[in-house]
Amino acid sequence: NERCFKEKSKVIKKKKEEAEMLELYRRFHNLCPEDIDYELNSMELICRIWKGVFQRLNGQKSFLPDRNMDFSHVGRIHKMLAFIQTHYQDPLSVDQIAQAGEVSRRECFRCFRSLINQTPMEYLNQYRLSVAAHLLSSGSQPLASISESCGFENISYFTKLFKRRFGMTPGQFRSGNEG
Question: Residue-wise pLDDT tens for the chain (179 aa)?
Answer: 676 666 666 666 777 777 788 888 788 888 888 888 778 778 888 877 887 777 776 665 444 445 555 566 678 888 999 999 999 999 999 999 999 999 999 999 998 888 888 899 999 999 999 999 989 988 789 999 999 999 999 999 999 999 999 899 999 998 876 55
3-state secondary structure 74-134: HHHHHHHHHHHHHHCCCCCCHHHHHHHCCCCHHHHHHHHHHHCCCCHHHHHHHHHHHHHHH
Provide the pLDDT for residue 11.
64
H/E run at residue 160: helix 155-166
Provide the pLDDT for residue 64.
46
Contact 173, 140 (CB under 8 A): no
Provide the pLDDT for residue 13.
72
Question: Kindly report the CA angle at 167 between 162 and 172, in degrees rounded to 5?
Answer: 75
Provide the pLDDT for residue 77.
87
